[in-house]
A and B are shown apart, each in its own frame.
Chain A
Amino acid sequence: MLANFFLYIVQGISITIGVTLVALPAGLLLGLGFALINTYGGPWLKRLSAAYSLLMRGVPPIVLLFILYFILSGNVVNLTPFWAGSIALGIISSAYQMEILRGALLSIGGGQMTAARAVGMTRLQSIQHIILPQALRIAIPPWSNEASIVLKDSSLVYALGVPEVLRRAQQLSATTQQPMLAFGAAALIYFVLVFLVNRGLDALAEKTKLPTQTA
């Protein structure tokens, strides 16, 4: 009987991973766009992206989830709970990823841009070929932090009726009255997932390390 229950919790992993696989790349694309705008854009674009970052980091993820699913979805666009939850988490994450990438972009010395322009590159070419390849590598370690946060925040989608790992553990706890067992299993699953993600990103950071990076 317990084996069946564990199997039931484990089935939630695909949803946990699915939500993360939507939210994290969506957040990366949006975050990268806003980071570039904020670093190289004009004063108004800078203000706009800074306001976006402030707003999205200030809103609790669950509130945005409810707004997107219960209020906007159905009236504006028709989203399933899975997509509404994943997109909401991606939007929140984009603000954090924007700040991570902005820091990485700014850490590339201004002299490199000047040098790139001096050999005849346009501003866009300089960003694309000189700044970004370095900044993205530098951003990997702090980004792995955000990746594990998004993975764990994916449990919030249960509030919209998506049965991921944590909700399944809650049901198991309610039926068996063995919360230690149920939540212990959920904790173990999250730990293993985060461990694998962080190890993978560590390896990626090591492999793509810049010659100039000491760490």
Chain B
Amino acid sequence: MKRLYFWFALIAVFGLVLAACGGAGGNTHLDKVKQAGLIKVGTSADYPPFEYVDENGNKAGFDIELMEEIAKQLGVKVEWVDMPFDSLIAGVQEGKLDASISAFNYTEERDQVVDFSIAYYDGEDAFAVSEGFSGTLAQPEDVVAYKVGVQNGTTQDGWLTELVEQGLLPEANLSRYDRADQAALDLKNGRIEVMLADAIPMKALVQQLGGLKIAYEGVVSSGPINVVLPNGDTELTQAVNDIIKKLQAEGFVDALAIKHFGQ
């Protein structure tokens, strides 16, 4: 039995050591990031061409290169943390991440718990359907007549959820997926009739999968795309904003867009 006591004591000591590991500092968050020489950035690397994993297992895409450049100008390195999209806001909110970049649109709900940088790109939405689709999507609201798929926690999800709450779109006709590529596959398999997503990744999926087409394109729920930063962190937000402005003025952002989006 002595052995058993030994194990319990060991566990107790282990717990205390873990508790003691939490450090503290007095400076602003930006100072801490600079001191560490490292900014911890969350992304969901399953959304080409914004962020994905390339054939060598490295993170790649528009957001990835932009953030690497922002960090370079801050004088720090990026430590990438790959999470499911709907964990990213919580990660920044709870201080697990210094920032998140994952084609985030501004919404009021998100703004209550995190801050946003200025926009670094303007996004549009697109509705994709199968090539044999015979219905009409003259305007976004026409979508209520069909079975729709969307990625969970996106602004498009928010827009469709509102249609459900207004009683226009039957709840049973809305399917939410963890990732955009899952929704696209279900569209191809015919389980849903329409898929709504950011236009650029939507077009990439349509091109890659084949048998699909874009039925409508325009601003529905999307719009300015921003970096997500901790709530009330004015120093870091200001620094990131200044760099984004500079990169836009230098044409760096446009060049990245041509490289990754072809436009």
CB within 8 Å of B: which residues of A? 1, 4-5, 7-8, 11, 29, 33, 36, 66, 69-71, 74, 76-79, 81, 83, 124-125, 127-128, 158-161, 163, 167-168, 170-175, 177, 179
Contact = CB atoms under 8 A, between A and B. Distances in A.
B1 A161 contact: no
Given A174-B46, A179-B185, A5 B8 contact: no
B110 to A, nearest CB: 16
Interface stretch (B17-25, B154-162, B255-263): B17-25
B48 interface: yes
Interface string B74-92: 0000000111100100110
Contacts of B185: 177, 179
A33 B22 CA distance: 28
A167 B94 contact: no
Q: Taking chain A's interface residues, is the majority helix, strand, or loop, or is none over half, making it mixed?
A: helix
Interface in B89-122: 90-91, 94-96
A125 B57 CA distance: 55
Contacts of B48: 174-175
Nearest to B205: A177
B129 interface: no
Contact of B179 (A79, A128, A174): A174
B45 interface: yes
Interface of B: 1, 3-4, 7-8, 11, 15, 18-19, 21-23, 42, 45-48, 52-57, 81-84, 87, 90-91, 94-96, 179-181, 185, 205, 208-209
A159 B83 contact: yes
A167 B55 contact: no
Contacts of B19: 76-77
Nearest to B60: A175
Contact of B18 (A7, A33, A79, A170): A79
Contacts of A179: 181, 185
A202 B1 CA distance: 28
Given A158-B84, A175-B52, A11 B57 contact: yes
Q: Counting chain A CB atoms within 10 Å of each CB, which of B3, B46, B57, B81 scores highest? A: B57
A136 to B, nearest CB: 13
Contact of A175 (B1, B21, B53, B87): B53
